[in-house]
Structure 1
Amino acid sequence: MRMIRKIVGALTALTVCGSLAACGASNADGKTLSILVEGGSPAETVAKDTAAGFEKLTGYNVKVDTVPYSGLYDKLKAETMSRRGVHDVAFIDVGWFPALKKGLLPVEDVLSQGELNDLMPMLRDGGTFDGHLLGVPTWTNSKVLLYRKDLFSDPANKKAFKQRYGYELTVPKTWDQYRDVAKFFTHDGMYGTGMIGATGSDSVTGWLEFATQAGADGLVVDKNGKVDLTDGSYAKALEYMRELVKDGSIPADYLSLGTSEISNLFNQGKLAMQLTWSHFYKSSASELGEDKVGAAPMIGGSAGVGAIPGPWYESILSNSNKQEIAKDYLKYMYGQNERYMTSLGVAARRSVFSKYENKSGYAHLKALEATLDSPQTQNRPAIRAWTEIETEVLSPLVQKVLKNGNAEAELAKAQKKVEGILG
């Protein structure tokens, strides 16, 4: 049997002699499991905080190596293509699976059916390719709406909004409401909302989320494998983003703003709303106070609420010569999943969400759960060339259209470029 039996036995032994070291186990033979994570991320924090516990149980030292997010994919791609891997386990963004899958070990035997059933929606499907689960989920996430509760509840604001727009000021649920509220709160140095316009995956995600709310199904590549950028939903999404720009409801330097910059503006009291990853609620509530920050599900377009999940997984590199102990490490970390909730504000297990969703400091969880359960919420396409398509075609497309390009014309060009990449 695998090392998991040793773990069970060790748990029993710990009640007798306090630690495996006291019972004679040690790392004297140099046994080391190498883990690759994003530097400065909760993954690094949790990996380091749990390393001593795993060593006590197994005798294996956990060596945590870090790489910035911007270089992590390239590092993993090089390792998975190599005949000799440097690392045994790595943290992987869901969008990287299609390109890395040939270098990853199937891990469906790590978790029991009950443990798999405890995973949040779409996590199992997001990590499954060619019938194999290629990673154990660590957390799931999506964009939600964060807003200034104190501004929305202010009687003067309520009165002025109704006089101007003819209906009650409320937390927006639709495109029209979101646009009206954004215009209303734009005055005296405050903007109604922000927009991620900087080059990169988050600007693409923001656009595709509006597209899925407008009815896109399959996101760029439909379920039949056809590129569908000219179906209308993508143009509607870009046009809606252009309307927010023309309204002046977002900062003028939006083309240089990323997720962190927009979050900082919100925390500084310069934005009334932001559509952002749910875990940013914790920092905003800490900076402004829980009484001033609210969280609601993602807004919806003509097709309803929709978002793009952003889950991460722990995977085993198939080049590793320590695959069995690596599987035990994934099993062990599944048991430590609550640590991601306390450090980041999101996790992978339903049971962990249930435990925290009514606690102070976690008001974003119900908004996240509602968004993940929405019919139009869908994963990015599971295609090998996705990173190339996103970087070379989609990100420049968003910037060009927002600068005043013709949405339909640029989408037609992008359609041909993506078709060319996919062959």
Structure 2
Amino acid sequence: MKKAIKEVLAAVTTGVMLISVTACGGSGGSTGSSNDKTLNLLVEGGGPAEKVARSSAAEFAKQTGYKLKIDTSPYSGLYDKLKAETDSGKATHDLAVIDVLWFSALSKGLSSLDGVLSPAEKNDLMPQLAQGGTLNGKLLGIPTWTNSKILLYRKDLFENESNRQAFKAQYGYELQVPTSWKEYRDAAKFFTKDGNYGTAVVGQTGADSVTGWLEFATQAGAKNLVLGKNNKPDLQSKPYSDALQYMQNLVKDGSVPSDYLSLGTSEISNMFNQGKLAMQLTWGHFYLASAKELGDKVGAAPMIGGSAGIGAIPGPWYEVLLKNSKKQDIAKKYLKFMYGKNEGYMKELGVAARRSVFKKYENNPQYAHIKALEATLTAKQTQNRPATRLWAQIESETLSPMVQKVFKGANAKEELKAAQQSIESLLMD
């Protein structure tokens, strides 16, 4: 999700960037006197969290008398800064906006937010959000937005009558926007011609390549991803090998660019926007950038489905309260206030956290990706990644290299067996 956000925000103006830089540095701390009317917030610089916080700060100050001081950091340093702060037990900041993947590692330094939202407010959250922000039975984060991969495709190519006739002659059924693995693979092969490709895969080492594989695994029936019900790895079950084999087949078909090992989510999006790809499975909010480049040539559809149906991996972010903040009560009021400002994330990023916000925008033609996101996020096989403090290590040291090896031709089942043994050893340590 990190690169996805940066891609859509690449057009941030120099002026805004200068504001972000100015906000960095001296935070003023959160340990001042009781007369200190400042709340200190840490966010990713230039991201939607910073923009929404800035746009609503004056209203919060008017209501409460508390000024919001915003400290920013690049994504790459945001986690490190918070980890050092929570480990030290010193509250430099009162609040922060974090990636869902960081909860396990930061949890001991975060306050419980149970009771901040009413039952009705929690019910207005999109699926998986309350669960994703809950650890050991305690709600530790108020969702800011959620996201998932969906299918973006070239409407003009799929609606072209010559293409439709040629596809039916070759494959024996009507060309349509893919909903299944077979349809997606066939369309990818069909549109690979004249120097362009049907689709692409994330072959670049990193989180997105693992996410892409796990999404296919959920579609093939995987549950309790990677670690299984008893927190034990179960990578040798059929859905995981089926997913890896399917991805390998896309590569073997020649339906993806030959330099796939160097492609990340942003690079693939650029290729799609330049007309070099017929389809891509990408984060929903990328639709806004694609529509800006391609106009009505781009369409959005739910994530494709496998034998178990549609499935994806959500990419939510949350606002959290640091346990060592001296301003717990007013900080919780701020979290409640920001829940009411959730529409701001839809305007800035194209996604939000509340069902009511999604509903408000689902028929807006400028947000044609919203219905596809709703269908994907509410699908029965859509599920969160494992809530374990070791996930980053498992992902980077074991799973990402494994996916890349299979892309290059390694046997999927053998690589999954080795990966399971590696994860078992890590868990024992």
Q: TM-score under structure 1 normalisation?
A: 0.91
% same residue: 68
Please name the residue that 1:62 is paired with.
68
Please name the residue that 1:16 is paired with.
none
Please name the residue that 1:375 is paired with.
380
Name which one, 1 or 2, has greater alpha-carbon Rg: 1
1:315 aligns with 2:317: no
1:288 aligns with 2:294: yes
Please name the residue that 1:351 is paired with.
356
Task: Report the residue type matching 2:47 in the other structure.
Answer: S
Per-residue CA shift, 1:138-195, capped at 9, x if unaligned? 1111100010111111111101111111110000011111000001111112111111
Task: Report the residue type matching 2:254 in the other structure.
Answer: G
Please name the residue that 2:192 is paired with.
186
Please name the residue that 1:129 is paired with.
135
Please name the residue that 1:205 is paired with.
211
- How many Å apart are 1:30 and its aligned residue? 5.1
The 4+ residue runs of structure 1 with deviation greater than 6 A are: none
Task: Report the residue type matching 1:364 in the other structure.
Answer: H
Does the residue aligned with 2:43 lie in a helix, a strand or coil? strand
- How many Å apart are 1:61 and its aligned residue? 1.8
Please name the residue that 1:339 is paired with.
344
After superposition, residues 21-420 of structure 1 pair within 5 angstroms as 31-289=37-295, 291-420=296-425
Task: Report the residue type matching 1:229 in the other structure.
Answer: L
Q: Structure 2 CA distance, aligned partners of 1:31 and 1:216?
A: 49
Q: Structure 2 CA distance, aligned partners of 1:65 and 1:412?
A: 44
Per-residue CA shift, 1:342-378, capped at 9, x if unaligned? 1111111111111110012111111111111211111
Point out where structure 2 has 5 or more consecutive residues left out of the alignment: 1-34
- How many Å apart are 1:77 and its aligned residue? 1.6
Contact 2:95 2:331 (C-alpha < 8 Å) held by counterparts: yes
Task: Report the residue type matching 2:355 in the other structure.
Answer: R
Q: Structure 1 CA distance, aligned partners of 2:76 and 2:414?
A: 31
Per-residue CA shift, 1:42-99, capped at 9, x if unaligned? 1121112212222222222212122222222222222111110211111111121112
Does the residue aligned with 1:43 lie in a helix, a strand or coil? helix
Q: Structure 2 CA distance, aligned partners of 1:329 and 1:234?
A: 42
Q: TM-score under structure 2 normalisation?
A: 0.90
Please name the residue that 1:20 is paired with.
none
Please name the residue that 1:19 is paired with.
none
Q: Structure 2 CA distance, aligned partners of 1:49 and 1:264?
A: 30
Per-residue CA shift, 1:356-415, capped at 9, x if unaligned? 100121111111111112111111111121111111111111112212222212211111
Number of residue pairs matched by the alignment:
394
Does the residue aligned with 2:367 lie in a helix, a strand or coil? coil
Does the residue aligned with 1:90 lie in a helix, a strand or coil? strand
Task: Report the residue type matching 1:130 in the other structure.
Answer: N
Q: Structure 2 CA distance, aligned partners of 1:158 and 1:176?
A: 17
